[in-house]
């Protein structure tokens, strides 16, 4: 288990969660999930894969509040730092 | 009392999408079928050497290449195939769904085994790694309604929709129900069936029917109406059709393949009743509904179960309806395997193409002389086809019949 | 449409008690039948609650052979079919079998038996190449769920149109709707129609866990299903069946049958939006409701009771509340609306038929079931949901709706047949 999640890790997880898409190729860090075409189901799958790979549990009610990939990275890395 | 449908106008077929083991488009399939080319071969995807059945009809296409990446994590192969077939059918019909009233278009498909491979992957994760490893998409990727739902979403069709299951016969029931929706106010329906369940667990489930042949020669393993028939070969794929009211087709100036002029479904008497099965009755009801007599039928696309007892029952029904050797009978499914819900829509497609081209495809693997049928063996037979009867049976006692008829072109010339 | 369709027999197998009579008593009492899952150890799962049926197939009259070959959902369907047949007083031998058909709705078919078989064949998931030698001879009939409708057809001697309707969680309305249309078309005179699902299995529970659709209120299972309540947090998985004898009106009249209700309108629409998600405006459900009311030639103000889908997910309850307001206007605030899922959970494909049974019994008994566990309404759900207690209420016309995965929304209207010809 890695000690922090990178944007590249997250991009890979996003692809696995909801498929390859040109929208994911650009600079996505601050792009809202809605613009990337991520609905609530895709974000739940994203959270599940993060839990499986990085051991970080994102609370159910927090998932819907995550607006951009940057917010996911902050939340997960913040938790990993605390745990470390 | 006869079966009546409150039809106000004819139901016509304006689009065909085919993904069959012997062809990945309607024209591909039709060329292979007329030439007697089989799509049956040894099952790939996993090692079948330890299983008692090794042949299958597989569609030679990776549908992933035809779909947006976004659809892939959430779909089983069966749904990918169904989406491609539906897209092809709509393109063939020249339909732009965005240009038609959204509540006037619906989707009715049949499906017998859902997204089985997808479930196999997820259930293994559940039992080896735990519930939190199960995909969010499992909740809908595997159930029987998935193809209808995904087709409706992809093409923005919001009208009356549905899903019926009656093993193989369900493929005709879907067409019958789509036609019912047209009679009740819809103008265009996407219908038919597509099947695919060739993961190992699905494979063992197919084998459990007890009706699959254990033969290993792809050319002869599935030989319906042959006295030595030993069972069927299971296949994947099927056909999706675009059905419309005549006025809808006319308004669009659409090319019309033909008309679904009659449809009926029956069920066999309880096992042990001693009374004859219901297939002949379904055929009669469908002919009555189409207001045609058996003498008007130029070809029968048989269910062709591929076991001697079931073949004999079907032959008796046909002989009783048409007389001995009374009508050309064929079973092009001998070249694809039985596709469950995908089989009858594919036969309807073949019937429509027979009408278009004036030719009946052969059943090359059959001998057939024991059943008093005029079986089209060897090679395709040229003859004008105005009316075809398509028969289907499903394990458990399901029977369905459809009458497919030529239709004067609605296209302005 | 000249041919009218009436319900002349009801059979229900629901959590909390077998048979239509116990079912109605449970609804009138407002008790809930949700509890901690007992069929397997639910500890590893997010939601550990379900509405289970205490069902003994032998006691329910199934033979040893029937029990062996049938999945639990098929057993439910057959037992309920026998109950509705007996209730209707119909003598099937007096009817041409060719004029009797069957539809059974089911969202997930024989999932329980499939999972059990899988565990045997795969050595509890260890082997991807499952072992054919251990396959049950009945595996194919679990694999292809139309076997359920074949079982019912054998039970009642049907030889007309027979099929399974499997449109996810609207299967239960759609199966009855399919039979209604078959009768209207004249393809049968009697349809034994309804729905059954028995999905309380690890794979089904984990599916809904994954999308967080089911309630995690594990410390309080009896109060976990809370449709329209501000604190609702998902649906509670259930199981069960309801089957009906549907007859063409003249056929029922000729034999002097008791008529519970007339089905006067039905429609289903697809939202073409999302396989699981719903838009908050409830547009497609409104479209289905409008069509069903129009087919019934019923003014929205004449609806005396609305049986809601009321699954208890955040999204659904707002979605359909919006649809009721769109279609019924001011009357939406006056008509009683309730969700029996608050008491018996959400049995996927079966529940739509069980809800049709509740509607027919509401007409019959002049009372409407409550929404249990509704203590504080969601501000966005501001209708009269009949909280906690059943209510005596004259019901002449009822609207029942369903919504399900795949994006389907269905609506059906039932009317009191004693109201005479329209």
Q: What band does B7 get if pLDDT is binned at 50, 70 and 90? A: low
* Cα–Cα distance list, C78 to B128, C52, C86, C200 (Å): 35, 18, 12, 19
Query: Which chains form contacts with chain A, at 3 or more CB pairs under 8 Å?
Result: B, C
- β-pair type (C190-197, C240-248): antiparallel
Put simply, whether C89 touches A (Cβ < 8 Å) is no
Put simply, whether C211 touches A (Cβ < 8 Å) is yes
Predicted local confidence at residue C343, as pLDDT: 98
Q: What band does C131 get if pLDDT is binned at 50, 70 and 90? A: very high
How many contacts does B have with C, using Cβ atoms within 8 A? Answer: 276
Q: Does any domain span residue B130?
A: yes
Put simply, whether B3 touches C (Cβ < 8 Å) is yes
Q: Do B123 and C203 touch (CB under 8 A)?
A: yes
Q: Do A18 and B135 touch (CB under 8 A)?
A: no
Residues of C in contact with A43 (CB under 8 A): none
Tell me how far apart the alpha carbons of residues C98 and B267 are, in angstroms, rounded to a whole number.
Answer: 8
Q: Does any domain span residue A1?
A: no
Q: Are B148 and B107 contained in the same domain? A: yes
Side-chain-side CA neighbours of C171 within 13 Å: the count stands at 36
Q: Domain spanning C5-254: which CATH class is it, in words?
A: alpha beta
- C9 Cα to chain B: minimum distance (Å): 22
Q: What band does B368 get if pLDDT is binned at 50, 70 and 90? A: low
Q: Are B365 and B292 contained in the same domain? A: yes
Residues of C in contact with A60 (CB under 8 A): 212
Nearest CA in chain A to C273: A39
Q: Do C408 and B145 touch (CB under 8 A)?
A: yes
Smallest Cβ–Cβ distance between C140 and the set B47, B50, B205 belongs to B205
Q: Do domains C5-254 and C265-419 have the same CATH topology?
A: yes
Smallest Cβ–Cβ distance between C277 and the set A40, A45, A60 belongs to A40
Put simply, whether A55 touches B (Cβ < 8 Å) is no
Mean pLDDT along residues B58-72:
96
| Domain CATH number, residue B84 | 3.40.47.10
Tell me how far apart the alpha carbons of residues B197 and B82 are, in angstroms, rounded to a whole number.
Answer: 13
Q: Are B19 and B144 contained in the same domain? A: yes
Question: For an interface test with B, which of A11, A17, A18, A48 has the most B Cβ atoms less than 10 Å from its Cβ?
Answer: A18
Q: Does any domain span residue A55?
A: yes
Q: What band does C279 get if pLDDT is binned at 50, 70 and 90? A: confident
Put simply, whether B206 touches C (Cβ < 8 Å) is yes
- β-pair type (C17-18, C5-14): antiparallel
Number of domains in chain B: 2
Phi first, then psi: give them for residue B192, nearest 5 degrees: 130, -150
Q: Is the pLDDT of residue B3 over 60?
A: no
- Average pLDDT per 10 consecutive residues for chain A, totaling 84 residues: 84 94 90 92 94 92 91 92 75
Q: Is the pLDDT of residue B336 over 50?
A: yes
Q: Does any domain span residue B3?
A: no
Distance of CA C24 to the CA centre of its chain: 14
Q: Does any domain span residue B133?
A: yes
Mean pLDDT along residues C42-51:
98
Supply the mean pLDDT for chain B: 95
Q: Are B144 and B238 contained in the same domain? A: yes
Tell me how far apart the alpha carbons of residues C8 and C5 are, in angstroms, rounded to a whole number.
Answer: 10
| Domain CATH number, residue A35 | 1.10.1200.10
Phi first, then psi: give them for residue B108, nearest 5 degrees: -130, 115
Tell me the domain boundaries of chain C.
5-254, 265-419
Smallest Cβ–Cβ distance between B153 and the set C139, C186, C273 belongs to C273
Query: Which chains form contacts with chain B, at 3 or more CB pairs under 8 Å?
Result: A, C
Q: Tell me the pLDDT tens digit for each residue of C294-303.
A: 999 999 999 9
Tell me how far apart the alpha carbons of residues C136 and C149 are, in angstroms, rounded to a whole number.
Answer: 20
Put simply, whether B101 touches C (Cβ < 8 Å) is no
C403 close to C309: Cβ distance less than 8 angstroms = yes
Q: Do B68 and A21 touch (CB under 8 A)?
A: yes
Put simply, whether B74 touches C (Cβ < 8 Å) is yes
- C25 Cα to chain B: minimum distance (Å): 33
B361 close to B376: Cβ distance less than 8 angstroms = yes
Residues of B in contact with A48 (CB under 8 A): 132-133, 136
Smallest Cβ–Cβ distance between C166 and the set B3, B145, B180 belongs to B145
Q: Does any domain span residue B413?
A: no
Q: Does any domain span residue B342?
A: yes
Put simply, whether C212 touches A (Cβ < 8 Å) is yes
Q: Does any domain span residue A2?
A: no
C371 close to C41: Cβ distance less than 8 angstroms = no
Query: CB B374: neighbour CB atoms within 10 A?
Result: 18
Q: Do A41 and C277 touch (CB under 8 A)?
A: yes
More confident residue, B365 or C236: C236
Predicted local confidence at residue C384, as pLDDT: 98
Q: Are B206 and B248 contained in the same domain? A: yes
Which residue numbers of C are catalytic? 169, 309, 346
Q: What band does B1 get if pLDDT is binned at 50, 70 and 90? A: very low
Predicted local confidence at residue A60, as pLDDT: 86
Q: Do A41 and C212 touch (CB under 8 A)?
A: no
Which residue stretches of C266-313 are H helix? 283-295
Q: Do C210 and A44 touch (CB under 8 A)?
A: yes
Q: Does any domain span residue A27?
A: yes
Q: Do C211 and A39 touch (CB under 8 A)?
A: no
- B149 Cα to chain A: minimum distance (Å): 16
Tell me how far apart the alpha carbons of residues B81 and B88 are, in angstroms, rounded to a whole number.
Answer: 11
Question: Which token pair is B87?
Answer: 């897209």
Q: Do A39 and C274 touch (CB under 8 A)?
A: yes
| First vs last C-alpha separation in chain A | 12
Q: Tell me the pLDDT tens digit for each residue of C250-278.
A: 999 999 999 999 999 999 999 999 999 88
Q: Is the pLDDT of residue B6 over 60?
A: no
Q: Which position has the token pair 């105005």?
A: B386
Nearest CA in chain B to A57: B132
Q: Is the pLDDT of residue B4 over 50?
A: no
> Where a domain ends, among B252, B272, B297?
B252
Q: Is the pLDDT of residue B173 over 70?
A: yes
Q: B392 is in which domain, residue-wise? A: 263-405
Residues of C in contact with B271 (CB under 8 A): 154
C50 close to C237: Cβ distance less than 8 angstroms = yes
- A17 Cα to chain B: minimum distance (Å): 7
Q: Do B149 and C408 touch (CB under 8 A)?
A: yes
Q: What percent of chain C has pLDDT over 70?
A: 99
Q: What is the full DSSP assignment across C219-271?
A: T-GGG---TTBTT---B-EE-EEEEEEEEEHHHHHHTT----EEEEEEEEEE-
Put simply, whether A17 touches B (Cβ < 8 Å) is yes
Q: Does any domain span residue B156?
A: yes
Residues of B in contact with A45 (CB under 8 A): 73, 135-137
Number of domains in chain A: 1
Q: Do A52 and B135 touch (CB under 8 A)?
A: no
Tell me how far apart the alpha carbons of residues B226 and B222 are, in angstroms, rounded to a whole number.
Answer: 9
Q: A65 is in which domain, residue-wise? A: 7-83
Query: Which chains form contacts with chain C, at 3 or more CB pairs under 8 Å?
Result: A, B
Mean pLDDT along residues C132-155:
97
Running DSSP on this structure, what letter comes out for residue B134?
Answer: S
Supply the mean pLDDT for chain C: 97
Q: What band does C420 get if pLDDT is binned at 50, 70 and 90? A: low
Residues of C in contact with A48 (CB under 8 A): 210
Q: Do C270 and B184 touch (CB under 8 A)?
A: no
* Cα–Cα distance list, C400 to A33, B324, C330, C347, C419 (Å): 36, 53, 18, 16, 19
- B357 Cα to chain C: minimum distance (Å): 33
Query: CB C375: neighbour CB atoms within 10 A?
Result: 11
Q: Does any domain span residue A17?
A: yes
Query: What's the CATH number for C265-419?
Result: 3.40.47.10
Residues of B in contact with C184 (CB under 8 A): 6
Q: Do A60 and C212 touch (CB under 8 A)?
A: yes
Residues of A in contact with B68 (CB under 8 A): 19, 21
Q: What is the full DSSP assignment across B215-247?
A: ---TTTSS-TT-TT---B-EE-EEEEEEEEEHH
Smallest Cβ–Cβ distance between B204 and the set C132, C162, C184 belongs to C132
Q: Are B178 and B288 contained in the same domain? A: no
Q: Do C210 and A48 touch (CB under 8 A)?
A: yes
Question: For an interface test with B, which of C40, C187, C214, C350 has the most B Cβ atoms less than 10 Å from its Cβ?
Answer: C187
Put simply, whether C280 touches A (Cβ < 8 Å) is no
- B82 Cα to chain C: minimum distance (Å): 14
Q: Are B282 and B232 contained in the same domain? A: no
Q: Tell me the pLDDT tens digit for each residue of B320-330.
A: 999 999 999 99
Interface of A with C (CB under 8 A): 39-41, 44-45, 48, 60
Q: Do C274 and A48 touch (CB under 8 A)?
A: no
């Amino acid at each position: 288990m890695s000690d922090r999640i990178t944007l590249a890790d997250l991009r890979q997880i996003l692809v696995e969660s909801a498929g390859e898409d040109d929208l994911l190729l650009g600079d996505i860090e601050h792009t809202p999930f809605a613009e990337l075409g991520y609905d609530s189901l895709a974000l739940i799958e994203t959270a599940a894969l993060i839990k499986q790979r990085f051991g970080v549990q994102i609370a159910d009610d927090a998932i819907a509040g995550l607006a951009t990939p940057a917010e996911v990275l902050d939340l997960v890395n913040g938790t990993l730092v605390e745990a470390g | 009392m006869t079966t009546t449908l409150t039809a106000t106008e004819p139901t016509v077929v304006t689009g065909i999408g085919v993904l069959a083991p012997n062809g990945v488009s309607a024209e591909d399939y039709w060329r292979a079928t007329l030439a007697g080319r089989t799509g049956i071969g040894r099952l790939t995807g996993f090692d079948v050497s330890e299983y008692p059945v090794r042949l299958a009809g597989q569609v030679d296409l990776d549908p992933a290449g035809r779909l947006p990446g976004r659809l892939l994590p959430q779909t089983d192969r069966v749904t990918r195939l169904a989406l491609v077939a539906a897209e092809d059918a709509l393109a063939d019909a020249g339909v732009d769904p965005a240009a038609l009233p959204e509540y006037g278009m619906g989707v009715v498909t049949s499906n017998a085994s859902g997204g089985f491979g997808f479930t196999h992957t997820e259930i293994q994760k559940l039992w080896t790694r735990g519930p939190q490893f199960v995909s969010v998409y499992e909740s809908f990727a595997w159930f029987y309604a998935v193809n209808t739902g995904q087709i409706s979403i992809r093409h923005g069709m919001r009208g009356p929709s549905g899903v019926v299951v009656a093993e193989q016969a369900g493929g005709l029931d879907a067409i019958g129900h789509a036609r019912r929706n047209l009679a009740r106010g819809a103008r265009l329906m996407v219908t038919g069936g597509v099947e695919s369940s060739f993961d190992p667990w699905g494979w063992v489930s197919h084998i459990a029917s007890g009706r699959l042949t254990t033969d290993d020669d792809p050319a002869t393993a599935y030989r319906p109406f042959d006295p030595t028939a030993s069972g069927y070969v299971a296949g994947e794929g099927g056909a999706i059709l675009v059905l419309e009211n005549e006025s809808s087709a006319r308004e669009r100036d659409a090319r019309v393949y033909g008309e679904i002029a009659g449809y009926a479904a029956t069920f066999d008497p309880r096992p042990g009743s001693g009374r004859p099965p219901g297939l002949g009755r379904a055929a009669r009801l469908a002919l009555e509904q189409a207001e045609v007599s058996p003498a008007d039928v130029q070809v029968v696309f048989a269910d062709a179960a591929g076991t001697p007892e079931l073949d004999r029952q079907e032959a008796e029904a046909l002989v009783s309806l048409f007389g001995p050797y009374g009508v050309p009978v064929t079973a092009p499914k001998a070249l694809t395997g039985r596709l469950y819900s995908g089989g009858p829509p594919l036969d309807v497609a073949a019937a429509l193409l027979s009408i278009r081209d004036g030719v009946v495809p052969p059943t090359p693997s059959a001998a057939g002389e024991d059943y008093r049928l005029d079986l089209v063996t060897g090679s395709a037979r040229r003859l004008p086809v105005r009316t075809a009867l398509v028969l289907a049976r499903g394990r458990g006692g399901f029977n369905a019949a459809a009458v497919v008829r030529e239709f004067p072109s609605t296209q302005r010339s | 449409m000249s041919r009218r369709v009436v319900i002349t027999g009801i059979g229900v197998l629901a959590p909390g008690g077998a048979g239509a009579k116990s079912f109605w008593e449970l609804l009138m009492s407002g008790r809930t039948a949700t509890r901690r899952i007992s069929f397997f150890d639910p500890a590893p799962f997010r939601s550990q609650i379900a509405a289970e049926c205490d069902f003994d197939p032998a006691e329910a009259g199934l033979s040893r052979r029937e029990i062996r070959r049938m999945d639990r959902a098929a057993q439910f369907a057959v037992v309920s079919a026998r109950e509705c047949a007996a209730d209707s007083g119909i003598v099937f031998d007096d009817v041409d079998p060719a004029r009797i058909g069957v539809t059974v709705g089911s969202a997930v078919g024989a999932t329980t038996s499939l999972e059990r078989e899988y565990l045997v064949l795969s050595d509890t998931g260890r082997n991807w190449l499952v072992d054919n030698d251990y396959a049950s001879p009945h595996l194919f009939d679990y694999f292809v769920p139309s076997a359920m409708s074949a079982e019912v057809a054998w039970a009642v001697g049907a030889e007309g149109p027979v099929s399974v309707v499997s449109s996810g969680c609207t299967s239960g309305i759609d199966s009855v709707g399919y039979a209604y249309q078959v009768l209207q078309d004249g393809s049968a005179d009697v349809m034994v129609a309804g729905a059954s699902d028995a999905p309380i299995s690890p794979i089904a529970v984990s599916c809904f866990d994954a999308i967080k659709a089911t309630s995690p209120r594990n410390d309080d299972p009896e109060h976990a299903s809370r449709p329209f309540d501000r604190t609702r947090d998902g649906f509670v998985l259930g199981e069960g069946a309801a089957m009906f004898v549907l007859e063409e009106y003249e056929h029922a009249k000729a034999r002097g049958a008791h008529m519970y209700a007339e089905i006067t309108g039905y429609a289903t629409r697809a939202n073409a939006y999302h396989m699981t998600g719903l838009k908050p405006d409830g547009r497609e459900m409104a479209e289905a409701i409008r069509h069903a009311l129009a087919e019934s030639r019923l003014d929205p103000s004449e609806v005396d009771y609305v049986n809601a889908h009321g699954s208890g997910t955040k999204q659904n309850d707002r979605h359909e509340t919006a649809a009721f307001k769109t279609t019924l206007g001011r009357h939406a605030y006056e008509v009683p609306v309730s969700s029996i899922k608050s008491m018996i959970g959400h049995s996927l494909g079966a529940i739509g038929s069980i809800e049709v049974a509740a509607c027919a019994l509401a007409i019959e008994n002049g009372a409407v079931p409550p929404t249990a566990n509704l203590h504080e309404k969601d501000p966005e759900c501001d209708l009269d949901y009949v909280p906690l207690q059943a209510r005596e209420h004259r019901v002449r016309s009822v609207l029942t709706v369903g919504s399900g995965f795949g994006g389907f929304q269905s609506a059906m209207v039932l009317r009191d047949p004693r109201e005479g010809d329209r």
